[in-house]
Structure 1
Amino acid sequence: MKIIQAYKEDGKEWEYFQQKATLKNPLVLVFGNRYLLEKSEIIENIRAEFPYENIVFGSTAGEILCCHVNDNSISVTVIEFENATYKVERENILDFNKNAVELGKSLYEKMPKDNLKHLFVLSEGSFVNGSSLINGLETNLNSSLSITGGMCGDDARFEKTVASFKENPKEGEVILIGFYGESLEISFASFGGWIPFGPERIITRSEGNILYEIDGQPALDLYKKYLGEKSNELPQASLLYPLNVTPDGKKDPVVRTILNINDADQSMILAGDVPVNSRVQLMMASVDGIAQGAQTAANLAMTKRKNKPELALLVSCIGRKLVMNQRVEEEVEQVREVVGDKVPLAGFYSYGEMAPFNGSTSCELHNQTMTLTLISE
């Protein structure tokens, strides 16, 4: 596997982490600030610098490259496999009347199945229900297949996200990358480091990813009481206090970030499903706890690997970035210490992370986690 990585800030020249070279039919991953990805001259510059066909674009809430976290930049990772192959497909949620389940089904059906080893998702992050998207992808999924990925970001603006395959980035896109070949070894893990606090309550009214009532009370009203003065900073403040949700009949909780609020009906729109009768608690975190969580995720991803990873794809939540602030690179450094300082790191800060629970192959939508996908051949 050959990897070339580079990044640029607006108005500056490209900086490379490896020697610049021409590769054959590589997969090109471009993660960048949404404002930059909407500039046609930036896209033209990327295409000129990396004149390859298979380019995937995604907007972020921060770009991870090497052991750095960048803002307002474009980061590029070019991957050429020696024996393995890949396939990229796309759909737009607006063509499915925002039905993420049907979109997921359609995307998976497009993907050739022979020797398919792993699926990586890059999804629109503003209005796609990530849980429903995963449900659609897994409807006819072979039980041995694994899925990881993330929802695109837009810093802390929450205005819109953009993504694309080959085309210029636009709203509504969901990209699916299939990795093929017996030579591939792909491992993954996801872990948070956040701590539940306060009383455990019951979700009494919800619809998909819209939360209306907790313990029979308007959800937003109850949430604001907990936040106090910080409630004036919603929805951004909710990134610091996500919800720990344990669906009825399940033992493993998922963390849910609040993407938006509706004062009219006192509801909250979350990144994924929040089923009725789920147990729910508020969560909080410390910088040290988040950094430790990233290390735990890396250790879990490295467990039982036969070979050293040649590439680490990191998807971390914007909420973690906001808590860590100027110390944000510490969680990336924790990952680097575990996977090896010579392993290229690439990724982004997201509005939602996708990965199975540890020890499972069934994918879940997570929030506030560090999610890793380690690849070698």
Structure 2
Amino acid sequence: MIVSQMSVNSKGEWEASSAKAHGLDADLALVFWSDTDETAVAAAVEALKTHCPRAILMGCSSGGVVSGRTFLENAMVATLVSFQETRLESTATRLKDHADIRDMCRHLAASLSHAGLTHVFVLSDGLVINGCALASGLAEFLPPGVGITGGLAADGERFERTAIMHGSVIFSGGVACVGFYGERLDIGEGSRGGWLPFGPERLITESHGNVLLELDGESALKLYERYLGKHAKNLPASGHLFPLYLCEAGGSNWVVRTILGLDRERGALFFGAEMPLGATVRLMRGNMDNLLDGARKAAELARRGDGDALAMLVSCVGRKMLLKQFVEEEIDAVARVLGPRTTLTGFYSYGEIGSDEAGTTCCLHNQTMTVTVLREQE
């Protein structure tokens, strides 16, 4: 496996950002950008196609880009990967072309060959697609035992429009997937948060799908505004600092959910997944030490030996907002665990996709560091 990285300079041109630059033989180009005009992104993608004509090109907009041990904003980075034995396939589609998300997942799964498929990395629109339904739908239609990781594209702290790139096409309202095939590819994944619940448990007393209206009979928006205080004026972005810890009625598995939007007239809060009626929730908050510890644990779970490897990091915009100028600390925490022969790429997201803490079910996470490591066995 050979991994190299490139970035777009101030002139809009690609330049190598690692010593072992390559391109013509690259099989995969993962491209992430932050605060970059979409016209400029499109032009850069066309130039990248010339540099690595054989590669599957896939990427998304973000709340910040991971390149090696560095966190970048106002940037566009490509990570090029050449495999020795691993084969790749990719597919993409828009939700509007299907009856519903489940039908879209059926189409995506059917578009990838199933023989020899070991893992699927997925990138999704972060505002239009229900990430929880996407994760469960892919798990339903892909063969048993196939790993699924990825994340939801972001738009910084604006929450206006997110974009996916597949080939030379940049689009919203859809999903792109790349499938990995072969017995020599060793894949590890880990996902951990570090946020802590506080305050009383509350019951969801009115909700519709991913729209939360009432907690314990009180307006959910008003309750949030009371807890957030001076931060309330910056909703929905500030809601990432106070996610919800949720457990469905009759269940025992707790998940983290984050606000993606709101409607003040309706008093409604919009999340990236269902907010089931009767579920129990608690507010959460974090601190830097807990979040860094979560990043380390995610890396420990994903680590695969000492050989050359690629690590795809998907961390939440909310973690970046809390860590602020120390955001590179969590990237460095992952890098120290994985070692110097692992190249890091990734982005800050509106949601992360990976296995639950038990490692049995693919689901949507919020506010986690999710790490996927790929290493070809020698």
Give the superposition deviation at 1:274: 1.6
SS in 1 for 2:276: coil
Say whether 1:2 aligns with 2:7.
Answer: no
Trace 1:317-356 onto structure 2 (pairs within 5 A): 317-356=316-355
Unaligned runs of 5+ in 1: none
Q: Which moved more, 1:328-337 or 1:157-166?
A: 157-166
Match of 1:209 in 2: 210
Q: Which moved more, 1:39-48 or 1:57-66?
A: 39-48
Trace 1:276-355 onto structure 2 (pairs within 5 A): 276-302=277-303, 305=304, 308=307, 310-355=309-354
Counterpart among 25, 28, 43 of residue 41 in structure 1: 43
Counterpart among 64, 67, 86 of residue 66 in structure 2: 64
Q: Which moved more, 1:73-82 or 1:33-42?
A: 33-42
2:24–2:51 Cα contact (<8 Å) kept: no
Query: 2:360 is aligned with what amino acid?
Result: T
Give the superposition deviation at 1:216: 1.6
Match of 1:176 in 2: 177
How far, CA to CA, are the matches of 1:2 and 1:350 in structure 2?
26
Query: 1:44 is aligned with what amino acid?
Result: E
Give the superposition deviation at 1:208: 1.9
2:87–2:181 Cα contact (<8 Å) kept: yes
How far, CA to CA, are the matches of 1:297 and 1:174 in structure 2?
25
How far, CA to CA, are the matches of 2:231 and 2:322 in structure 1?
14
Say whether 1:238 aligns with 2:234.
Answer: no
Q: Which moved more, 1:88-97 or 1:284-293?
A: 88-97
Say whether 1:78 aligns with 2:77.
Answer: no
Match of 2:260 in 1: 259
Match of 1:365 in 2: 364
Give the superposition deviation at 1:265: 1.3
How far, CA to CA, are the matches of 1:349 and 1:365 in structure 2?
15
2:26–2:52 Cα contact (<8 Å) kept: no
How far, CA to CA, are the matches of 1:241 and 1:84 in structure 2?
41
Give the superposition deviation at 1:271: 1.4
How far, CA to CA, are the matches of 1:376 and 1:38 in structure 2?
34
Give the superposition deviation at 1:309: 6.0
Query: 1:63 is aligned with what amino acid?
Result: V
- 1:244-280 deviations in Å (ceiling 9; x for gaps): 1112233221111100011121111001122122110
Give the superposition deviation at 1:148: 0.5
Give the superposition deviation at 1:218: 1.8
Query: 1:247 is aligned with what amino acid?
Result: E
Q: Which moved more, 1:85-94 or 1:223-232?
A: 223-232
How far, CA to CA, are the matches of 1:308 and 1:274 in structure 2?
42
How far, CA to CA, are the matches of 1:288 and 1:334 in structure 2?
11
Give the superposition deviation at 1:33: 2.1
Q: Which moved more, 1:325-334 or 1:100-109?
A: 100-109
Q: Say if 1:38 and 1:362 are closer, same or farther in 2 by CA, change over 3 A.
A: farther
How far, CA to CA, are the matches of 2:72 and 2:81 in structure 1?
21
How far, CA to CA, are the matches of 2:136 and 2:35 in structure 1?
27
- 1:28-48 deviations in Å (ceiling 9; x for gaps): 111112533432433333334
Counterpart among 87, 90, 100 of residue 89 in structure 2: 87
Q: Say if 1:152 and 1:38 are closer, same or farther in 2 by CA, change over 3 A.
A: farther
Match of 1:126 in 2: 127
How far, CA to CA, are the matches of 2:333 and 2:268 in structure 1?
37
Say whether 1:137 aligns with 2:142.
Answer: no
Give the superposition deviation at 1:105: 1.6
Match of 1:149 in 2: 150
How far, CA to CA, are the matches of 1:8 and 1:189 in structure 2?
30
Query: 2:145 is aligned with what amino acid?
Result: S
- 1:202-252 deviations in Å (ceiling 9; x for gaps): 112222211111112221122112112221111111011111111223322
Give the superposition deviation at 1:195: 0.8
- 1:114-157 deviations in Å (ceiling 9; x for gaps): 01101111011111110111122122333312211000111111
Tell me the TM-score normalised to structure 2 length: 0.94
Give the superposition deviation at 1:317: 0.3
- 1:87-107 deviations in Å (ceiling 9; x for gaps): 10111112236x322211211
SS in 1 for 2:325: helix
1:210–1:274 Cα contact (<8 Å) kept: yes
1:146–1:362 Cα contact (<8 Å) kept: no
Q: Say if 1:306 and 1:327 are closer, same or farther in 2 by CA, change over 3 A.
A: closer
Give the superposition deviation at 1:347: 0.4
How far, CA to CA, are the matches of 1:95 and 1:15 in structure 2?
38
Match of 1:117 in 2: 118
How far, CA to CA, are the matches of 1:293 and 1:280 in structure 2?
21
Query: 1:204 is aligned with what amino acid?
Result: T
Query: 2:224 is aligned with what amino acid?
Result: Y
- 1:302-328 deviations in Å (ceiling 9; x for gaps): 3xx466461111000000001111110
- 1:330-355 deviations in Å (ceiling 9; x for gaps): 00000011110221001000010001
Match of 2:220 in 1: 219
Match of 2:162 in 1: 161
Tell me the TM-score normalised to structure 1 length: 0.94
2:188–2:301 Cα contact (<8 Å) kept: no
Give the superposition deviation at 1:21: 2.5
How far, CA to CA, are the matches of 1:122 and 1:185 in structure 2?
21
Query: 2:198 is aligned with what amino acid?
Result: F
Query: 1:92 is aligned with what amino acid?
Result: R
| Aligned length, in residue pairs | 374
SS in 1 for 2:224: helix
